[in-house]
Amino acid sequence: MSLEVLVLDSVGSCVDTESIVYPMNVDNTPDVHNGSHIDDVVDEWWDNLSPEDLTLLTNWLVKHNVDCLIDSNEYTDEELMELEWLVDNNPDDGSWVGR
């Protein structure tokens, strides 16, 4: 079985084209027996995602036409505007940090 994934080193995991997040084994292969949909990962995972990996993930999700569920009640208007800006601009130079 061949699995196309994006490796996210900052959180020790990877995501496939179906938005399933897998932890990485010590041999750098996905632990395909312990995957979770990206909408179900814990806040700690998102908090530890580096800016570089966030950019990679955003581009990956756009490339694979993934529509992640965003509960707008969890975010302020400013945070939602930031998310929209990230999706629209896909910055890869870290220019969004501290906006």
Cβ–Cβ under 8 Å, residues 39 and 69? yes
What are phi and psi for residue 37, nearest 5 degrees? -65, 145
Per-residue pLDDT in tens (0 to 9) along the chain, 99 residues: 568 999 999 999 999 988 999 999 999 999 999 999 998 999 999 999 999 999 899 888 888 776 554 554 556 677 667 767 666 666 555 555 554
User: What is the pLDDT, as a whole number, of residue 99?
Assistant: 46
